Structure formats: C-alpha cells, structure tokens
Amino acid sequence: MATEALIFDVDGTLADTEEAHRVAFNLAFERHRLGWVWSRADYRQLLEVTGGKERIASYIDLLPTSAPERRRLMGLVPVLHADKTRFYTAVVQDGGVPLREGIARLIGEAQDQGCRLAIASTTTAANIHALLTATLGPRGLDLFAVIACGDQVRAKKPAPDIYKLALATLGLQPEQALALEDSVNGLRAATGAGLWTLVTPTFWTQGGDFAAAGLVLPHLGEPQAPLHGEPGCLLKTAGWLRFDELCALASPPPPLNAVQALYRGLPS
C-alpha cells in the first residue's frame, strides 16, 4: 500500500532538542531557587519519562522530602513547566536548534511526491510552533497536515495514543503511513499504533532496544554528507535516505503468488 503520510516525532527526530530542554529546565529551577540542577547524565535517565511536567513530577517523587513538602513541590510543577517552556522557546526562536541532517530534504521530497506530513509528539504546541517557524520559516507549521502533540492525549508515549490520534485525523490506516522516531518510548508508541518506524537515535537515546524498528540509521544523511558505508549496507539507492527508498522499505511489494513465483526472473 502506498505511503500517504510521514508522521514525524519532534524532539530528537526533527531536531536534536534535548540539550536545549535540559538547559531550560535548569533555568526554571534556578528562577524558583530550588537548588535542582539536572546534569546530562541525570537528564538521560529522566528522559525515560516522557512529557516535561511528568518528568519534573518523577524527579520530585525521588526526592527525600516530607509529604507536605512533596505536595508543595508538586503544586509548583505547572508554573515550573510554563517557565521552562518560555526559556526553551526563546532559545529555539533565536535559531539555537537546527533541524537534523536530511530532515528539510526529506520533507521537500515528500511534498514533491504529494505525500502529506504530520507530527506526533509529546512536547507542547508552543515548542513545536517555535521550532517549525524558526527552522522552516513563518509558514513552517502549514507544511504539516496534522500536528498531534502534548496534552491532546492523556496517555503519552510509549502509549500509542498520540500516533492513533494523528492517523485518525489524517483519515489513514497504519499501512498507509510511516513514523520517524528517535527513542524507545517513541518506537513503542508508533509500532503500538501499527506503524512501520524509522529510528534515528541521538546521544540522548542511543543504545536503546530498537529491534522493533523497520530501519535504524544514525541520521538521514545528505548528498553532500552521505552516511558512512552507504549505499550497500542498509541503503540501496544512495548514501542518504531518499523518500522513494524510505517508502519502498516501509511498504515492500506484496509477496509473489504461486503462479508469479513460477515465472519470476524468466524473460517476459
């Protein structure tokens, strides 16, 4: 079945955003004089919890505090996250977070072939707006037919809900689309919705169990920066992942029936 939509995760997939998120979290904690500082090692661990508000709450749960202090800190989560989002979007709007290799190229190739684009992300609409307008221009959001994100679903990744919402809004069956992700949580969410999934891990997610992925690449590559060892290792047609090859990988031709198999390879 032909691929009618690419459904992109945002953080780690469209752009390597998590360092900017980590700095923004620490700025919010500093603004509220909490004395919390998330190191890179802390944050890699904390990223196992998707959603910034949920991540802060999971950190509070680990603190050795009294029940009243825990309740007070939990009451701060919404304002901490709102401040963090302001710090994050400011960095992104200043152009501090570029798209990953090959993303702009793949989006253009998909558009040229009439393939729709969608987003399925745990992050907030504000963060997505900032990233897409900073990297794809004032009409960056308009390139995406559907943007499913943040609190639109109660169960965040690894639950499949956000991908099911994106598919339902696109009016597509899973076989008619494919997902691009960077993390184990994202892969589980996308495959849980029945989607063939490409994974391009980052420093924050590398080393995860990506066995359920249809393909794992370090990034999408570019003509001027082909992937090491490609074509020939995982890719057939070029040293970078082209839209046509991605679709062929995601929807392999139907198996030959008995009669076709008899005549396979014979001169027509």
Residue 12 as a binder of Mg ion (CB under 5 A): the answer is: yes
Residue 9 as a binder of Mg ion (CB under 5 A): the answer is: yes
Residue 50 as a binder of ligand XBP (CB under 6 A): the answer is: yes
Instruction: Please state the closest distance from residue 120 (CB atom) to Mg ion, in A.
Output: 10
Beta strands in the chain (DSSP E): 5-8, 116-121, 146-149, 177-181, 196-199, 215-216
Complex with Mg ion: residue 101 or 182, whichever CB lies closer: 182
Residue 194 as a binder of ligand XBP (CB under 6 A): the answer is: no
Complex with ligand XBP: residue 20 or 249, whichever CB lies closer: 20
What phi, psi does 195 have (nearest 5°)?
A: -95, 135
Strand partners, 197: 179
Strand partners, 6: 117, 178
Q: Are 200 and 227 in contact (CB under 8 A)?
A: no
Instruction: Please state the closest distance from residue 201 (CB atom) to ligand XBP, in A.
Output: 12
Residue 16 as a binder of Mg ion (CB under 5 A): the answer is: no
- Residues with Cβ within 8 Å of residue 111, at least 6 apart in sequence: 117, 143
State the Cα–Cα distance between residues 88 and 250, nearest whole angstrom.
34
Residue 70 CA from chain centroid, whole number: 32
Residues marked active site are found at 9, 11
Take residue 15 and report the two structure tokens written for it. 């752009």
State the Cα–Cα distance between residues 80 and 83, nearest whole angstrom.
5
Instruction: Please state the closest distance from residue 177 (CB atom) to ligand XBP, in A.
Output: 17
Take residue 132 and report the two structure tokens written for it. 């897409």
Residue 3 as a binder of ligand XBP (CB under 6 A): the answer is: no
Residue 186 as a binder of ligand XBP (CB under 6 A): the answer is: yes
State the Cα–Cα distance between residues 122 and 38, nearest whole angstrom.
20
Through-space distance between the first and last CA atoms of the chain, rounded to whole angstroms: 25
State the Cα–Cα distance between residues 80 and 208, nearest whole angstrom.
29
Q: Which does 89 bind (CB under 5 to 8 A by kind): ligand XBP, Mg ion, none?
A: none
| Binding residues with ligand XBP: total (CB under 6 A) | 16
Q: Which does 101 bind (CB under 5 to 8 A by kind): ligand XBP, Mg ion, none?
A: none
Task: Identify residues 240-259 at the interface with Mg ion (CB under 5 A).
Answer: none
Complex with ligand XBP: residue 121 or 191, whichever CB lies closer: 121
Task: Identify residues 52-71 at the interface with ligand XBP (CB under 6 A).
Answer: 52
Selected binder of ligand XBP within 26, 124, 191, 197 (CB under 6 A): 124
Selected binder of ligand XBP within 3, 26, 89, 127 (CB under 6 A): 127
DSSP for residue 261: H
Complex with Mg ion: residue 12 or 174, whichever CB lies closer: 12
Task: Identify residues 135-194 at the interface with Mg ion (CB under 5 A).
Answer: 182-183, 186
Overall size of the chain counted in residues: 268
Take residue 53 and report the two structure tokens written for it. 């508000």
Binding site for Mg ion (CB under 5 A): 9, 11-12, 182-183, 186
Binding site for ligand XBP (CB under 6 A): 9-12, 18, 21, 50-52, 121-124, 127, 157, 186
